[in-house]
A and B are shown apart, each in its own frame.
Chain A
Amino acid sequence: MKTYDLAIIGGGLVGSAIAWGAARAGAHVALLDEGDAALRAARGNFGLVWVQGKGAGMPAYAAWTQRSAQLWPELRDALEGETNLRLGLEQPGGFYFCLSEAELEKRASLIQRMSHESGDIGTRVIGRAEARAMVPGLGTEVVGGTYCPMDGHVNPLYLLRALQASLRAARGDYLPNRHVTQIVPQAGGFVLSCGDERLLCQKLVLSAGLGSRDLAPMVGLDMPVQPLRGQILVTERMRPFLHFPTHNVRQTQEGTVLLGDSHEDVGFDTDTAIPVQQQIAARNMRVFPALRDATLIRSWSALRVMSPDGHPIYEQSAAHPGAFAAACHSGVTLAGAHALAYAPSIVAGVLPDQLLPFSSQRFHVQAH
């Protein structure tokens, strides 16, 4: 039976980043992944490394997000050095554009509230003129927005590929087509069952997205995640015109433009729906009118992994120490922190203090 220091269950962005970070920290790692047709939230990711607006009401999440954005260049340098892939990380700052005064006011007060709650990271409100000066091509309906110098974007598919390639080079085992059906804690570790195969590990991480929900109780964890669909539209390649990411439009390294986003409570349905796409198209056209003539060549949807309050779940099992939870819907933004902060801690068998507020216990706190 194969034996590992650490088994990571789920080979998406969260699992792959943790596996890579753990191998780098010296652990003998197995990354278990499903097959080509799995749900794979990782393939649906927009690609933002996004800080502004994250963690309203939960300063710990705002802090964790900021830390990740700061760690990202180190992650990028390591991966690009090890793999020859160009991840396209750019952190020029990002915009959230508003199409009415009411929207702008609401956004401004959110940012102000967060500045008091979790500190001022430089996010500022900008008016129509300044927005237009910074971003050519904005429509006349854009009244302004918020700009945060910490925001950025990256190619999420190349990130996943680089993490897995680099993991393999570090002699971590990438084990695809493994659907873990059972985890049995035992003295000194855990036995994982996938089909007829058994695997032994000292520690494990549940990062299986929506699949974590059913595995969690087996190791004394609680990961009550639900799907929330998001749809993305992609255009043909265009010559570079958008040099900053915005919260729902960004232009990739190859020149394609990605348009989002939607939040649809539709269970496990990964089909694409016209009315939602129409809204995405219509809204983004108001922000960048010249997109009107851009050709759409692809659309896709993916299921976000949502906890009850939308914030991540990180925890070490009290009943079975060595079993760790990792669930979030911002696998790209948090890759820096997952790889360079959470992973080394997991290898040492410790949950970072910074992550104590993310325990699933918070979902059971009674209101007084």
Chain B
Amino acid sequence: MKGFIKQFVFVMPAICILLLLISGCSKKDDDGKSGEMVLRYSLISKVTNIDPGNIQDVYGSQLVSQICESLYTYHYLKRPFEIIPCLAADMPVISEDKLTYTISIKKGVFFHNNPCFPDGKGRELKAQDFVFAFKRIANVKYASVNWGGLKDYIVGLNEFREYTKQFKKEYDVDYSYDVEGLQALDDYTFQIKLAKPWPQLINDLTGVVTAPVAKEVVDYYKIDAPVHPIGTGPFKLKTWQRGIYIELERNEHYRDDFYPTEGELSDIENGYLEDAGKQMPFVDRVIYRVIEEYQPAWLLFLRGEFDRLYIPKDNFDSAVDIVSKAPKEFMKDRNIEVTIKDQPSLYYLGFNMKDPVLGNNKPLRKAISFAVNREQINELMYNNRWRIAHSLVHPLLDGYNPELAELNYMAYDLSKAKELLREAEKIHGGSIPPLKIGWPGSDPFSRQFAQLIQRQIEKAGIKIEINYLDWPTYVDMMNKGQHQIFGSGVRFSSPDPLSVFSMFPTKYFAPMGNSFFYSNPEYDALYERAEVMFPSPERAELFHKMEKMVLEDYPAVFTTQRVQYNLHHEWYDNYKPHPFLYSHVKYIRIDSEKQRAYKELLKELKKKDQ
């Protein structure tokens, strides 16, 4: 037996050494060997949809915007944000009645090479591809999540949707059915006729949802068309391993597209104009790896295997000094830089106004709002990174009203909350029963967050129960008005503030944007007027009135607005955060010299540590 023990004690370490050798011998070191510029990103959530017409989430938009282009885009460097032509040759010609948009299309733009085209060669982009893309979203059999954004706006499109109901499958639909409001006047002129003014159309035409789709793609791939995004963009999809890995490669036939030659005054100083006038994209491949846990993403970033990273909450203190907003020594030693991206967004605790306890009791809603300590939320949950929402309209959106901050709608005042609670109890006719908060997610962060809110509100004497829910159940309950209170947030995709105000009209009750079931006839009337108005002082005045109405009615406890801190390595050049532009990858350059030097730097730092 002693012999066996000796053998066992010898064999085990030997196996371990063998495994180490296997692992060590197979290490690859291909950075820069092929001379390729490769961008590497981590995604904290998997991309579920890469079909432009059906995209609704940020990750899908970020990915597909590199593959598919739209008629318009945002200027990468200029602030305030400016919309410029992308696939359009110019800005649209808008008729006097604001109902007809005539858009000329750039010539010499080609779809990616793909077997769906004759000889596998991507054909030239035509105005008909835009008509097809819009009709496809309207096709009821395609069941696009984005139909709600087009409904009732384009002449004849609702009728086309009715017409598609007779077909069995999406790809059986005969798209030659004429839609008066969507016309290809010739191969390079696209015309949209509206049933009513739609000032936000130009913003929507910057989104990947309205990107052109070649009919050949749908005819060829049929049911699998949604996983073959074939666009005109600077990159084409090479590999999509769902939930794990996405690889894009440079589109070798990409059109002439040059890095901007002008921007803000500080852009020269910050080095954003060093590549002015050069053909884009700069990188050859883009790799996205889905890493849902923070630790591996963080370690891979420090190892130099990702170029940019969103800072995980638990690593924030070791990465950034929140006062100076500069990287800490550990980061400086590695030449890692910080960028701050203000994200137009609004986070809140929504009240269900149909709820018998909350809906008719404004003092109760107000008491809850005064009981919530937003500063504490920002400190404990976001390392003081986010900003307190003093208004509905984010400072980056048009029509932001800085004066609202002084009116203290978002103040924390526990004694006032208690006072309001007494008033609320009179209205209710007794003590307030425990209120239920529907909370999306049950991971440690979600639990800590919900419990913090619970503790804050309970300090005012209001009992709170938390119902942790998976996302689909949470959304389902929200749409059916089954929550009493719900934690939520929204991110705005254009500088036009109308999307903020579309969260409150009666006609947009959930499942549309109004999950609060807030109904105010006066607000509705103002919204009807504002929604068809182009930006003007008169519209701004309406928005100010509507904003005050909502703030005074307390359909929610508005808490915070997101500010995202990113780290990137020094070789990641030209990165200027833009909250509305997803197609930023083509602007990025990798400094291969600095990238290669990083490995040496790490070795030096390791020696120092020892």
User: Are A and B a genuine interacting pair, yes or no?
Assistant: no
Measured CB to CB, the residues of B under 8 A from A are none
Measured CB to CB, the residues of A under 8 A from B are none
